[in-house]
Structure 1
Amino acid sequence: MLKHVTPDTFRTDRGSDAAVISELERTGTPPEAITEQRLPTTVPTRLRRVPKELGQIVLVLQGGGALGAYQVGAYQALHEAGVEPDWVIGTSIGAINASLIAGNALENRLERLREFWSRMQHSPWVEMLGAWPLMGPLATNLTTITHGIPAFFRPNPLAFLGLHVPLGSEAAGYYDTSPLARTLSELVDFDRINGRQTRLTMGAANVRTSEMRYFDSRDMDLDIRHVMASGALPPAFPAVRIDGGLYWDGGILSNTPVEAVFDDDPRKNSVIFAVHIWNPQGPEPDTIWQVMSRQKDIQYSSRAVSHIARQKQIHRLRHVITELVRRLPEKEQKTEAVRELAAYGCLTRMHVVRLLAPPFEGDDHTKDIDFSPRGIRRRWETGYADTSRVLELAPWLGDFDPVEGFILHEARPGVMMTAG
């Protein structure tokens, strides 16, 4: 069982201030509108809550296998600060973590998350191999590939008979994920999810149409299939059929499901904690091994900056539309044509707090299958520390441009950059 984390270290290798400012400028924010605050250097013991008047709390979780342990540390910090999400959105491992949060009572959530991630860990004998500097990572990764993880997935023998052997649409994968279905059935209460106390949304890719679909507890009853579909990453895991449609992991289309919040109808004032576990910035690789790692980071960070830039621009236009309508004579405002145009505007304000998991020394393209106890523990602890510092600073408090409906808070080593 994973214990309560109390980290005493803080990673500082997530990019320079100049690189962060460059990213924020790409969202359309002028340099003079970017502010900087220093983050606490130690993990605070007293954390601030998010004022209710700022709107709903949304937790958005990327996909990324073992990297998802960082998300659980982030949630633990929120939980201990009394900041519980009204809405949890996830893809792949993010959907699994999201279902464990939404599918349990407040007092049981951390216990269930710890239980799940304890089951994901390799056995002690594999951890013993981790003591060898060169053999450790290789041994743990080979164990995952050849034996699977008992509570998650196991090899599908038929898949290794040949690439052209017919397996069936719902079995065409190198691994069988029925162990995950059993694990989720023990740890997630879908009656609670379908009671709609905490909204849950999970993204999956339609195999036939290549379209993203978000399964949303607000609009439909959810079950294990929806979680499994969101995490069915091909060719490792087989597709999942739901209502006649076949679905794969949503991360192959969009691994940053924050778009679900911006496209929601009706939109609401929100504080959105977007927990990103793939680093969009990185060094130029000069070996094939490094190329494989950097390619994966780029692929699964899912153009997060460009997504945010687009949403920031669109949301500002919504505010501008509302302001322009207000400036019209009252008689004009009441005409059908103006009312129709006014419907495109809104005055909702969204604070997006972007938490970015750091790289660790020795990370490579296999980091998302590093289910070693040490790997899980250090990512969990770092997520907890990073989020605790952000909560202490509370960057969403303050005065902001009234026309700016999208305020981006970017947490980086030692600093919080705010664009808005």
Structure 2
Amino acid sequence: CVSNTPLGAINEDPPSVPTLVFMIDLFNPEGPEPVTLDEVLWRQKQIQYASRTTHAIDSAAKQHRLRYALSQVPGQLPTEAPRDATAQGALEQECGMYFCRIIYEPRRDQIPMSDAEFSRPSIADRRAAGYSDMMSCLRQKPWLSPVGEEAESEDRGAVAPAGAVVYEARRGRISRRVLDARPAIQGPRERSVIGPLRTSGGIH
């Protein structure tokens, strides 16, 4: 099937710099427990549609962490093994991956067919909510905040280089999820200060 969340392009082109991905989700994976049958049907659709975005993010985070893990054991790779120059360069870089997920949180008056409802008021509400959440993210820039152990450092620009962090914005509220935290590595560690970001985006 065709996905509206094309994170595969990022996985095929491993980032060598901190990467920021904007994702627009028109369906909310979380919500109140449904009571009526109509609410059950609508909740089912939201979970079904939004789960593709969640799965895509989790998959990208796992691949990102795997690349980092491989970069920590170059000495254990066979010297005669063929090496792709582009892939090798990416593995030698420590960089974080940041997902800014803008999630539309609908009102409680939605019906089971709201996914096919394109009236002017509905479109206007979605557009206004998306614009507000996007502007809130751009103002706060949560991806510049320290993550994990680095948050306790005096270096306020430090982030977990191998981590994948998801920032979710709903109606002005921004939450954070840290995926695949940096594994414990013996020996000295270097902090990575976030620099120029590569950006990408998708709409689901």
Measured in 1, the distance between the counterparts of 2:165 and 2:136 equals 19
Q: How does 1:9-408 map to 2 (within 5 A)?
A: 205=1, 250=2, 254-255=3-4, 257-265=5-13, 267=15, 269=17, 270-325=19-74, 328=75, 335-337=79-81, 339=83, 343=87, 346=91, 347=93, 348-397=95-144, 398-404=157-163, 406-408=164-166
Deviation at 1:358, TM superposition (A): 0.8
Moved over 6 A (4+): none
Name 1:234's counterpart in structure 2.
none
C-alpha deviations, 1:355-374, integer Å up to 9, x for none?
11111131122222332221
C-alpha deviations, 1:121-163, integer Å up to 9, x for none?
xxxxxxxxxxxxxxxxxxxxxxxxxxxxxxxxxxxxxxxxxxx
Structural RMSD (CA): 2.9
Deviation at 1:321, TM superposition (A): 0.8
Name 2:176's counterpart in structure 1.
417
Deviation at 1:418, TM superposition (A): 4.9
Paired AA for residue 336 in structure 1? E
Deviation at 1:388, TM superposition (A): 0.5
Q: Is the 8 A contact 1:409 1:418 kept in 2?
A: yes
Measured in 1, the distance between the counterparts of 2:23 and 2:45 equals 19
Q: Is the 8 A contact 2:166 2:177 kept in 1?
A: yes
Paired AA for residue 173 in structure 2? G
Q: Is the 8 A contact 1:261 1:267 kept in 2?
A: no
Paired AA for residue 369 in structure 1? A
Deviation at 1:354, TM superposition (A): 1.0
Q: Is the 8 A contact 2:11 2:63 kept in 1?
A: no
Measured in 1, the distance between the counterparts of 2:44 and 2:77 equals 51
Report the number of matched residues. 161
State TM-score, norm by structure 2: 0.66
Measured in 1, the distance between the counterparts of 2:83 and 2:125 equals 54
The one of the two structures with greater contact order (alpha-carbon pairs below 8 A, sep at least 6) is 2
Deviation at 1:288, TM superposition (A): 2.2
Measured in 1, the distance between the counterparts of 2:160 and 2:16 equals 18
1:333–1:368 Cα change, 3 Å: closer
Partner of 2:143, secondary structure, is coil
Structure 1 portions without partners, runs of 5+:
1-204, 206-249
Q: Is the 8 A contact 1:395 1:418 kept in 2?
A: no
- Percent of counterpart pairs with the same letter? 32
Paired AA for residue 169 in structure 2? A
Measured in 2, the distance between the counterparts of 1:337 and 1:414 equals 48
C-alpha deviations, 1:239-273, integer Å up to 9, x for none?
xxxxxxxxxxx3xxx45x24323332354543110
Q: Is the 8 A contact 1:293 1:364 kept in 2?
A: yes
Q: Is the 8 A contact 2:25 2:103 kept in 1?
A: yes
Measured in 1, the distance between the counterparts of 2:114 and 2:107 equals 9
1:261–1:410 Cα change, 3 Å: farther
Deviation at 1:291, TM superposition (A): 2.1
Measured in 2, the distance between the counterparts of 1:288 and 1:414 equals 29
Q: Is the 8 A contact 2:27 2:104 kept in 1?
A: yes
Measured in 2, the distance between the counterparts of 1:379 and 1:400 equals 33
Paired AA for residue 120 in structure 2? P
Measured in 2, the distance between the counterparts of 1:278 and 1:350 equals 23
Partner of 1:336, secondary structure, is coil
Paired AA for residue 367 in structure 1? S
Q: Is the 8 A contact 1:354 1:408 kept in 2?
A: yes
Partner of 1:263, secondary structure, is helix
